[in-house]
């Protein structure tokens, strides 16, 4: 007589559909099969199963992986998840030998190891994507090394800076993103197999062997924590959210700069769209979508945090909800990085327009105040003097370079004829401090950035 185990009747169809995860967790097949192959080898090494059985199991698992990659594998919803689909197919192929595979493990530690391997791989892929975008930014900066643009605060023209200096700001942001992802990858680099359902397993397993086989640097210290921990998933979401925030800032500037009002850049036709009724339009849809998709990555982070906040130890089925959001975040971030790298690599910079705007609207006012400070005027008093000077220039429809020394002297006797030599170029050159926008500093920063990119 065949027993149904603990339950006398089958699961309600609606409940079965509600609880199944194979439509999305089948994405973990490579990691699941890799974990199972390592587990089979360990069981044989420890004498829990025979070498022959392990060999048959590994051959079966390898053929199942090939079936999935060829598209020949039939995923069955009634088998609920990727783990049971693979195991059922293995038993079809090898009989009772395949049924031995699940010895000394639970689906709880099985899915934990799958997810950790997935996050490690995803972090590495994302880091590569960030580096590709960084390269595009550096190429763009180096190709426009002499271009001057207005720097902004409060979206108001503030001081002239080199365009390359502005691009390097995004390089630095993304370098921090890489460091966050590396840290997240390190935190995911913990091997949970051997934890069983929550208490460990009563077999003479070799967890260090499993860790080595699967490329983990260490094993989990507590079996309860190992099966219930998803901090590493939250870490990836958090790092991805910060990265998307940085991408969104860049995208927002591209949207602004590509407008007729700015005309700082022109987006390549391959990364823009037209209008359904206005034939003159070139819409920055790629940049706008990158900006918009940031919200869904934030949402996935909040969903993961909310899922975890009230879970008692150890495993709970709520943890099934860790996957779809994570997969979506990985896909959203990776596709955004890929398309942004292409867009930035083909962006055309309008240096003449940037120069024009950088020389307007009194962007040299701070330099005039600094001039007075060097002549012995306290900065706060110099600030007030220049404010009055700017009001005078505006009332007379003049820019600072259009004022002569006699006009300057009306506001302070510390002004001399050399005030007329103040230019955008001299302003930029004066910022010759580490991290500043002076040409020599920017060239050094570009060299450092290139070395970081090429050497990392």
Instruction: Give the tens place of pLDDT for each residue, 147-174.
Output: 999 999 999 999 999 999 999 999 999 9
Which residues, in sequence order, are CB contacts of 55 under 8 Å at separation 6+?
none
State the burial class of residue 3 (Cβ atoms within 10 Å of its Cβ: 0-12, 13-18, 19+): exposed
pLDDT of residue 10: 78
pLDDT at 323 over 90: yes
pLDDT at 219 over 50: yes
Catalytic sites, residue numbers: 154, 275
Cα–Cα dist 179/130, whole Å: 11
Domain extent listing, the chain = 19-103, 109-202+217-355, 362-447
Same fold, 19-103 and 362-447: no
Q: What is the pTM of this model?
A: 0.93
Instruction: Place 381 in a pLDDT band, splitting at 50, 70 and 90.
Output: very high
Strand, coil or helix: 104: coil
The overall average pLDDT reported for the chain is 94
Give the CATH number of domain 109-202+217-355; options: 3.40.50.1980, 1.10.10.10, 1.20.200.10, 3.10.450.50: 1.20.200.10
Q: Which two tokens stand for residue 268?
A: 């390549």
CA distances from 233 to 35, 200, 416 (A): 19, 23, 63
Instruction: Give the tens place of pLDDT for each residue, 55-71.
Output: 999 999 999 999 999 99
Instruction: Place 184 in a pLDDT band, splitting at 50, 70 and 90.
Output: very high
Cα–Cα dist 302/238, whole Å: 9
Terminal-to-terminal C-alpha distance of the chain: 62
pLDDT of residue 2: 40
Cα–Cα dist 1/422, whole Å: 97
Q: Give me the DSSP letters along 118-151.
A: HHHHHHHHHHHHHHHHHHHHHHHHHHTTT-EEEE
pLDDT of residue 4: 56
Look up the CATH architecture of domain 362-447. Answer: Orthogonal Bundle (1.10)
- Cα-based torsion angle of the residue sequence 411, 414, 415, 417 in order, rounded to the nearest 10 degrees: 140
pLDDT at 95 over 80: yes
Cα–Cα dist 411/371, whole Å: 13
pLDDT at 273 over 90: no
Instruction: Give the tens place of pLDDT for each residue, 38-52.
Output: 999 999 999 999 999
Summarize the confidence of residues 179-199 as an average pLDDT. 98
Cα–Cα dist 424/428, whole Å: 6
Give the CATH number of domain 19-103; options: 3.10.180.10, 3.20.20.70, 1.10.275.10, 1.10.540.10: 1.10.275.10
CA distances from 291 to 246, 328, 340 (A): 10, 16, 11
Contact between residue 392 and residue 409 where contact means Cβ atoms under 8 Å apart: no
């Amino acid at each position: 007589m065949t027993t149904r185990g603990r339950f006398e009747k089958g699961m309600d169809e609606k409940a079965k559909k509600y609880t199944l995860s194979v439509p999305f967790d089948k994405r973990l097949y490579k990691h699941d099969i890799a974990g199972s192959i390592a587990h089979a080898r360990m069981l044989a090494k420890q004498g829990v199963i025979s070498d022959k059985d392990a060999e048959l199991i590994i051959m079966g698992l390898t053929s199942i992986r090939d079936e999935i990659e060829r598209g020949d594998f039939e995923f069955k919803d009634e088998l609920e998840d990727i783990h049971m689909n693979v195991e059922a197919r293995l038993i079809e192929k090898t009989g009772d030998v395949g049924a031995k595979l699940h010895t000394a493990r639970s689906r709880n530690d099985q899915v934990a190891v799958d997810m950790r391997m997935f996050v490690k791989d995803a972090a590495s892929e994302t880091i590569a994507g960030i580096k590709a975008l960084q390269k595009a930014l550096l190429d763009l900066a180096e190709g426009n090394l002499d271009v001057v643009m207005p720097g902004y605060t409060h979206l108001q023209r503030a001081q002239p800076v080199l365009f390359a200096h502005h691009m390097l700001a995004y390089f630095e942001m993304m370098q921090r993103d890489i460091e966050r992802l590396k840290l997240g990858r390190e935190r995911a680099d913990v091997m949970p197999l051997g934890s069983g359902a929550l208490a460990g397993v009563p077999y003479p397993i070799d967890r260090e062997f499993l860790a080595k086989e699967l490329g983990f640097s260490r094993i989990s210290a507590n079996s309860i924590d190992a099966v219930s921990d998803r901090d590493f998933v939250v870490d990836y979401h958090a790092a991805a959210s910060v990265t998307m925030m940085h991408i969104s800032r860049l995208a927002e500037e591209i949207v602004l700069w590509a407008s007729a009002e700015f005309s700082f850049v022109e987006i390549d036709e391959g990364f823009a769209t037209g209008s359904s009724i206005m034939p003159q339009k070139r819409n920055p849809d790629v940049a706008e979508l990158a900006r918009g998709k940031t919200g869904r990555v934030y949402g996935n982070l909040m969903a993961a945090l909310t899922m975890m906040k009230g879970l008692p130890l150890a495993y709970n089925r709520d943890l099934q909800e860790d996957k779809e959001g994570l997969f979506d975040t990985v896909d959203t971030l990776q596709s955004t990085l890929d398309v942004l790298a292409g867009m930035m690599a083909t962006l055309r910079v309008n240096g003449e327009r940037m120069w024009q705007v950088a020389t307007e609207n009194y962007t040299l006012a701070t330099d005039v105040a600094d001039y007075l400070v060097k002549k012995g005027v306290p900065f706060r008093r110099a600030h007030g003097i220049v404010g009055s000077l700017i009001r005078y220039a505006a009332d007379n429809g003049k820019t600072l370079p259009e004022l002569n020394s006699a006009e300057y002297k009306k506001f302070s006797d510390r002004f001399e004829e050399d005030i007329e030599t103040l230019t955008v170029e001299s302003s930029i050159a004066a910022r010759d401090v580490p991290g500043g926008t002076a040409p020599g500093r920017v060239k050094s920063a570009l060299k450092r950035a290139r070395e970081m990119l090429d050497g990392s």
